[in-house]
Structure 1
Amino acid sequence: MQYRLDHSDLSLVLALVRGRSLARASEMLQVDVSTVFRSVRRLEAALGIALFEKSRRGYLPTGAAQALAEQAERAEQALDAARVALEQGEQVVSGTVRLTCTDAVLHSLLLPALARFMPNYPALTLELATSNEFANLSRRDADIALRLTNSPPEHLVGRCLGTVSYAVYGREEYRQPASRDPARLPWIAPDDSMPDHATVVWRRQRYPGVVPAYRCSSMLSVAQLTQAGLGVAALSDFLAGDFDGLVRLSEPLGGCDCELWLLTRPDCRALRSVQTLFEELTRTVRIGSD
């Protein structure tokens, strides 16, 4: 008969993964070292697999142990949420919500919003993933998405939180006389992973001969290189505003305005955790304001 894991097994594995030694694991579990040693050997025998490899660096977890530790952490979070629910009453919002957005949106818009309200929800856990694709939400790998798009997918529901504008930014030394050709400046741009980004389309139309000196896989990296003084870039106003030393070198770029959408799947709207996060983000995400 196949061995059935219990809570004590998961706690044992998690303690040894975290502690990397019998001594530290025994302190976490409040048992003696010999008990931890015997328990690990007994669990490995029951499962028929090795969970740890002994080395000079201590007890190194195998892939199986890492997988069990991840499940143990989730169980630990669930127990913590249950304790909070008992302490605060039935109205507490708990559970795990998976949210996806781009790294630029995470850095400049989402994190400030989360700092405003997440302390009010100690039993609510967020799993954050940065991606440029809607696929995460469509495949049910995420519950909520914050996306810059003028054409949100029809199978998702959501709200438009505002419109984002773009302009050319760089350090003060790149502020140019009217007679100087912008095409001669070193440009920093998204790489081929974002061929349809609004700034890429704009640059190819406006300066078809420009070959960027630097290409990045994210807009956050584009902004970081621009702040370092390596060149100029077309950036959203909300992102550029978070980087000291960047100045606007152009008027708003025509045809680049993009809406910020907060999106979810219809089946998620009934979940209290998702609905709570959705409403809080609607209220607290700010574009171009404090």
Structure 2
Amino acid sequence: MHYRLEHADLSLILALVRGRSLARAAGLLKVDVSTVFRSVRRLEAALGRQLFEKSRAGYLPTSLAQSLAEQAERAEQALEAACVSLEQGGEVISGTVRLTCTASVLHVLLLPALARFMPAYPALTLELSTSNDFANLNRRDADIALRLTDSPPEHLVGRCLGTVSYRVCASPAYLSTAALGDLERLAWIAPDDFLPDHPSVSWRRQRFPGVVPNYRCNSMLSVAELARAGLGIAVLPDFMSGEQQGLQSLADVPPSYDTALWLLTRPDCRALRSVVTLFDELARAIRLGHAGGIPA
């Protein structure tokens, strides 16, 4: 016997996948718990397939339920886009765009930019991931990347959003207790071997070869947090330093260690209006000094 799924069935599955419990699913659907329980049992019987497994963690979806929930979510987004289009009286940018960047770029540069323009695109969905390489774009796991690099891959297209310089920084609390006569004798905070070629590491090793960092972190965001906590000094990109970031500059790193911030995408993504729209908005919202680049 073949059962034809209805919209109410997909809404039920999506609510239970999101809620992971009968009570939360009932709240999302605005019905009582017994109704959700009976509806799930009735749907599983009609399909002849199990949709959820009961465990201590709640109602866990089977692969079938997860697949149906993803399709229900896409239908939900399409309906929302249609409603927004009617309200605004015109075409609406919709769809899902996958964006990747480092944790420091995400928190300091990307999030303030998104807060400024994303409210104008209620039907656009973003999937954000943090990483330090280009593999996301190469594997097609992402559509847009924000990367600090002087040599973006030739098979990608993009725009240079500006130049990033580096500074030796520390918190006012640390500076009030440290003897600043010799930087080499202070407590250093630095990236670990996860970022062996980072400009801050290359400069420190060349300028202060005898320094052994007191603290090593696997991200520049963590390096900045430890510096703000007053644990020592750190070499940070200029967008992560300064009074607004709770840090004071002690010395500038030579311009030869500057890097560029690139906004990149794949050539095939230029046919997607959602990707092009987000790319253009980010290019306008994030600017660091002189900018140029390869037209996307």
**Corresponding residue of 1:256:** 257
Partner SS for 1:255: helix
Cα pair 1:85 1:123 within 8 Å, conserved: no
Cα pair 1:168 1:248 within 8 Å, conserved: yes
Distance 2:275 2:245 in 1: 35
1:230 aligns with 2:231: yes
Distance 1:278 1:242 in 2: 30
**Corresponding residue of 1:200:** 201
**Corresponding residue of 2:286:** 285
Cα pair 2:165 2:255 within 8 Å, conserved: no
Partner SS for 1:61: strand
AA aligned to 2:10 is L
Cα distance change of structure 1 residues 27 and 229 upon mapping to structure 2, 3 Å threshold: closer
AA aligned to 1:121 is Y
In the TM superposition, residue 12 of structure 1 has moved relative to its aligned partner by 0.9
In the TM superposition, residue 40 of structure 1 has moved relative to its aligned partner by 1.1
Deviations 1:135-159 (A, max 9, x none): 1011111111111111011000111
Cα distance change of structure 1 residues 238 and 63 upon mapping to structure 2, 3 Å threshold: farther
AA aligned to 1:41 is R
Unaligned runs of 5+ in 2: 291-296
- Cα RMSD, aligned residues only: 2.7
**Corresponding residue of 2:97:** 97
1:221 aligns with 2:238: no
Cα distance change of structure 1 residues 241 and 270 upon mapping to structure 2, 3 Å threshold: farther
**Corresponding residue of 1:241:** 242
AA aligned to 2:202 is V
Cα distance change of structure 1 residues 195 and 13 upon mapping to structure 2, 3 Å threshold: same
Partner SS for 2:271: coil
Cα distance change of structure 1 residues 3 and 152 upon mapping to structure 2, 3 Å threshold: farther
Cα distance change of structure 1 residues 268 and 29 upon mapping to structure 2, 3 Å threshold: same
**Corresponding residue of 1:84:** 84
Partner SS for 1:250: strand
Cα pair 1:227 1:243 within 8 Å, conserved: no
Cα distance change of structure 1 residues 33 and 288 upon mapping to structure 2, 3 Å threshold: same
Distance 2:147 2:228 in 1: 24
Distance 2:3 2:244 in 1: 55
Unaligned runs of 5+ in 1: none
AA aligned to 2:60 is P
Distance 1:193 1:53 in 2: 40
Cα pair 2:17 2:61 within 8 Å, conserved: no
In the TM superposition, residue 32 of structure 1 has moved relative to its aligned partner by 4.9
Partner SS for 2:129: strand
Distance 1:199 1:146 in 2: 19
Distance 2:168 2:30 in 1: 59
In the TM superposition, residue 206 of structure 1 has moved relative to its aligned partner by 1.7
Cα pair 2:98 2:142 within 8 Å, conserved: yes
Between 1:202-211 and 1:97-106, the stretch displaced more is: 202-211
Between 1:63-72 and 1:220-229, the stretch displaced more is: 63-72
Distance 1:272 1:264 in 2: 13
Cα pair 2:203 2:253 within 8 Å, conserved: no
Distance 2:191 2:67 in 1: 35
